[in-house]
A = this chain, B = another copy of it.
Amino acid sequence: MTWPSWWNLEVTAPFQLGPRELPGRVWTASGCFAYGLHAHEFTAADCPTPYAGLGAVVTKTVTPVSRAGNPMPRLVETPCGALNSIGLENVGFDAFLDTVLPELEALGVPTVVSLAATSPEAFGPMVRRLHEAAKGFAHWHGVELNLSCPNVAEGGHDFGGSPATVARCVAAARAELPDRALLAKLTPNVADIVQLAVAARDAGVDAVSAINTVVGLDVDLRTGRPYLPRRFGGYSGPAILPIALAKVDQIVQGAGVPVVGVGGIAAPEDALKFFALGAVAVQVGTAQMRDPFAAARIARALGQCSSS
**Chain A: residues with CB nearer than 8 A to chain B?**
4, 6-7, 78-81, 83, 161, 189-191, 214-219, 221-226, 231-233, 235, 238-243, 245-246, 249, 269, 272-273, 276-277
With A191-B161, A191-B190, A243-B235 known to touch, is A221 a contact of B269 (CB < 8 Å)? yes
A238-B80 contact given A219-B245, A221-B273, A276-B221, CB 8 Å threshold: yes
> In the assembled complex, how far is the CB of residue A175 from the closest CB belonging to chain B, in whole angstroms?
28
A43 to chain B, nearest CB (A): 30
Q: Indicate if the CB atoms of B242 and A78 lie closer than 8 Å.
A: yes
How far is it, in angstroms, between the C-alpha of A6 and the C-alpha of B221 when the chains are bound?
A: 9
Within the complex, what minimum Cβ distance (angstroms) separates A9 from chain B?
Answer: 11
A243 to B236, CA, bound (A): 11
Knowing A4-B224, A221-B4, the reply to whether A241 touches B276 (Cβ < 8 A) is no
Whether A78 contacts B218 in the complex (CB less than 8 A), given A232-B246, A249-B231, comes out as no
Provide the bound-state CA to CA distance between A161 and B191, in Å: 8
Query: CB distance B80 to A219 under 8 Å?
Result: no
> Can you name the residue of chain B whose Cβ is closest to the Cβ of A218?
B242
A241/B78 in contact, CB under 8 A? yes
Chain B hits for A246, CB < 8 A: 215-217, 232
Residue of B nearest to A190 (CB): B191
- By a CB distance below 8 angstroms, the chain B residues around A191 are 161, 189-191
Distance in angstroms between the alpha carbons of A215 and B4 in the assembled complex: 26
- Which residue of the partner chain B has the closest CB to A6? B224
Q: List 17 additional contacts besides A221-B276, A233-B242; criterion CB under 8 Å.
A: A4-B221, A4-B224, A79-B80, A81-B242, A161-B191, A214-B243, A215-B246, A218-B242, A218-B245, A219-B245, A219-B272, A221-B269, A221-B272, A225-B276, A231-B249, A239-B239, A239-B242
Q: Which residues of B contact A189 (CB under 8 A)?
A: 191
Chain B, Cβ-Cβ closest to A240: B239
B80 touches A239 (CB 8 A): yes
What's the nearest-Cβ distance from chain B to residue A229, in Å?
Answer: 14
- Closest residue of chain B to A266 (Cβ to Cβ) is B79
CB distance B242 to A83 under 8 Å?
Answer: yes
CB distance from A163 to the nearest CB of B (A): 12
How far apart sit A225 and B239, CA to CA, in the bound complex (Å)? 20
Q: Complex formed: what's the CA distance from A193 to B224 in Å? A: 23
A232–B4 Cα distance when bound, in Å, is 22
